[in-house]
Every structure is written in structure tokens, then in C-alpha cells.
Amino acid sequence: MMKINEIRNELLGEMYYDIDHPSGLKILLMPKAGYASTYAIFATKYGSIDTMIEMKDGSFEEIPEGTAHFLEHKLFESEDLDAFERFAKTGASANAYTSFDRTGYLFSCSGNFKENLEILLDFVQNPYFTQATVEKEQGIIGQEIDMYKDIPDWEVMFNCLRNMYHNLPVRIDIAGTQESIAQITADMLYDCYNNFYNLNNMVLAVAGNTTVDEVLEVADKVLRPVEGKMAQRKIIDEPKEVKADYCEKKLSVATPQFMLGFKENWDTPERTAKEEIAMEILLDMISGPSTDLYRRLFDANLINNSFGFEYFTGFGYSCVLFAGESNDPKAVSEEIKKEIKHFRENGFDEKVFERTKKKLYGRMIMGMNDVDGLANNMAVSFFAGEDVFTDFETYKTVTVEDIRDLLDKTLDENFSTLSVILPNN
């Protein structure tokens, strides 16, 4: 039975449709009449951290690292034209990605929307794997894995994660390793596909110049109901301590790169929207471009405009990352730790808190004009069990006391690690 709900936010003057399709697929649509383009993403709750597959009896069986990424590559193939060739004929720009916790297939177009949506839903639902094509892809992805080992931004991040985590698969390259992908077979890909790509574990999110009738016309034509449920993730034991507090590697860079990570230890596997928003505000107050710390580091030539921060969080893991270029990464690390200690001891200026909160809220409102970002945010919100307006409402509830409480629980230098990429010479 079809169920269509209109989700509105009167303050923003925005609405979207939340549709439970009879096939089992959740469809989220935010129409933007008059916009030049439309963006759609068909995503599954299956990413690189999913190295365990749930069996029928509720137990979990290990699968090779990198399988989610490998499967993403293979889905574009068919016995006839591959999906990219089909999209090229319609003029759409298509792509796909595998992240730590999801895989998405997407396109953007300024015309032929229904035709492009049909291609998207069709090829993702029709896997075609043979052992011969799997073995060919192993060579291609093996080259990709080797290539990423020479990319400084990639290596500084994964070295930091490998320093931080002992057991969690977030420490493993999204593409896996040469050894792990060598274990992948065609039968294994079909098993993973049937488990993670059932429509009950997926979402279709669309934003732009289209209508409910157009989307449902294609969905009703193409989607085939299957039995299944939302995939379950196994909680993996992880020590509180970091695995190592420092590492360095030499690559072809002009200026050293660094990433300073603060590992978090929570009792629950996922962070709430309020915790994530509070952390975003906290980090901007400590090290944003208008802070004393940023100006001090910049004036001392210890950082440049590449400096930034991220609250990196997903199922089972969360950490704070500071990164950039510096001729003295250790000095930057120490200054960041000193600034955190200063705020811990002296608290926050409430006027700065309110100003930062309003700035970030305004940035979110500006994002409502970006159809790519809107569709991706709808997909992310669905997998988090929220609606796309949750963050807007949550911002109103965050107080300076929430920020103080969060700082008391996080950014502990005893659980920090520094990853550095040095020039070859």
C-alpha cells in the first residue's frame, strides 16, 4: 500500500514528500519548481565498515574488506551497455560512491528526468557478475589501491585512523587491500547484494525540477518488491586508548601535512543530531577562521588556509579531526591542545556562542538552494532515522551549557594521535 506524507517546515517555507512505496523502498522527494536541474541518489545502507554480513539465524559472517566498494564498481556493468553508456545517451551526469557507511548511485540532469531515473533504478536492481569479470576488476581496483597510497590527503587521514583504532573497520581503506579483494568471488558479490541491496535497506532521494507523479510513474514501472529488512550492523569491541600517538610517512609534498585526531568513547554506537550540532559549534568556536587560535597560528606561519576541522562520526566510531599543512605539525598540535585546555578551564563567551550558532544555522539555510546537497542530506537523514528538517529544529535547542558538557566528555589529549606526511627530501 502506498503511503505519502508531506513534511513541512513553516519557518523555512520548505516541504518534501516522504513516500513508503509498495516495493518496500523509501522515496524522499523535494520538488524545486523552476530550478534548472534535478538530482537523484539511490543509496543503500552498506559501506566499507560493513565487513560482517548477517545470516538468517542472526549470526554474523565476515566478508572481505573492500567488498562494498568492489560491488559498487561491478553494478555499472551488464551484458549489454553499461550504465555510464546509457546515461551518456540521455545527457545526464552520473556517478557513484562508497563511503564508510553507505553506497550511493546518482545522476544530475537538466532534461530527460524520467528516462534517467528509470536507468538508475533499473541498473542498480539488475546485478551481473561473472568470475571472469570479477578477476578483471580485481586488477583494476588493485591499481586504484596502490594509487591512493601516494595521495597525501588520503594517507594522512587513514594513517590517523589506523593510529586511533585497534579493531574498527573504519581504519581500513574504503577500497580494501590487495589481499582482501583477492578473496572476492562472483557468488560472494551476489550474497552481499541480496543482503544489502534489498529495497527495505535502501532509499531514493530526489531534489529539483520534478513532481511526485513523475517519480512514482517510474518507480511503479521499475521497482520490484523483494523480501528483506534494514540491515543490522554488528557492534565491534574497541579499546578506549588509541593504538599509537604518532606516525609519519614521506611522500611527494611541498609542505608537510598533518591530521590531529581525538578519539571519543561513548556508551552508544551513534551520535545524536544534537551531539553532532553541538560539536560543530564547539569546534568552530575553538578553531574557526575568526578565532584567536586560527589567527595566532596563521600569523606565526604555522598554518595556511588549508587548515580545517571535522567531526568524523558513524556507526561505532566518532572522533574530532584537525588537519592542514604546516612546516611544524607538532607545534600546531600543541597549540590546539593548549586552546582546548584554555576553554576547558575558562569556559565560553555566550555572545560568541550565539554568533557562531547563528552563522552555522544561516549556512544550513543557504544549503536549501543546492539540489545535490538536499538529496544527499535526505538520504543521510533517512539512514539516521531523522527527517531532513531535524537539524534545523535541533539548532534551536542547543545551549552554551550543552557545549560545556560536551567539552567535558570529549577532546581529551590522552586519547589523541598525530599523523604527519613529510616531503621526500
Tens-digit pLDDT profile for residues 315-366 = 999 999 999 999 999 999 999 999 999 999 999 999 999 999 999 999 999 9
How many CA atoms does the CB half-sphere of 275 hold within 13 Å?
A: 18
User: Cα-flanking dihedrals φ and ψ of residue 335, to 5°?
Assistant: -65, -40
* Same domain as 167, residue 293: no
Assess whether pLDDT exceeds 90 at residue 425: no
Structural domains in the chain (count): 2
Query: Does one domain contain both 294 and 204?
Result: no
Domain range holding 353? 246-423
Kindly report, residue by residue over 170-190, the tens digit of the pLDDT. 999 999 999 999 999 999 999
Q: What is the pLDDT of residues 27-66, one digit of tens each?
A: 999 999 989 999 999 999 999 999 999 887 888 999 999 9
b/e sequence 40-70, b meaning 16+ C-beta within 10 Å: bbbbbbbbbbbbbbbeeeeeeeebbbbbbbb
**DSSP category for residue 389:** T
Are 366 and 303 part of one and the same domain? yes
Same domain? 178 vs 279: no
Q: How far apart are CA 68 and CA 60, in angstroms?
A: 16
Kindly give the residue spans of alpha helices, DSSP state H, lying in 97-207: 113-124, 131-148, 152-164, 178-181, 186-196
Q: Are 34 and 388 in contact (CB under 8 A)?
A: no
Can you read off the three cell numbers belonging to residue 372?
A: 545535490
pLDDT for position 414: 97
Q: In the numeric block, which cell numbers belong to residue 29? A: 522527494
Q: What distances in angstroms separate CA 243 from CA 164, 264, 326, 417, one per listed residue?
A: 5, 13, 24, 9
Q: CB neighbours of 154 closer than 8 A, spacing ≥ 6?
A: 148
Q: What's the whole-number mean pLDDT along residues 403-410?
A: 95
Whether 227 maps to a domain, the answer reads no
pLDDT(20) > 80 = yes
Residue 239 within any structural domain of the chain: no
Residues sharing a CB contact under 8 Å with residue 53, sequence separation 6 or more, in sequence order:
60, 61, 63, 191, 192, 195, 196
Please indicate, yes or no, if residue 228 is contained in any of the structural domains.
no
Would you place residue 108 in the very low, low, confident or very high pLDDT band (cuts 50, 70, 90)? very high
Which member of 65, 72, 137, 155 is catalytic?
72
Of 258, 251, 302, the residue nearest 419 (C-alpha)? 258
Same domain, 87 and 206: yes
Confidence at residue 54, expressed as pLDDT on a 0 to 100 scale? 87
Judge whether 330 lies within some domain.
yes
Note if 72 is an active site residue. yes
Contact 30, 210 (CB under 8 A): no
One domain, residues 151 and 297: no
Question: Over 80: is that where the pLDDT of 80 sits?
Answer: no
CB 278 within 8 A of CB 398: yes
Q: What's the first-to-final CA gap in the chain, in angstroms?
A: 65
Given a cut of 90, is residue 407 above it in pLDDT?
yes
CATH of the domain at 136: 3.30.830.10
Position 241 in a domain: no
Residue with cell 551531539: 275
Predicted TM-score (pTM) of this structure: 0.94
Q: What is the pLDDT of residue 303?
A: 98
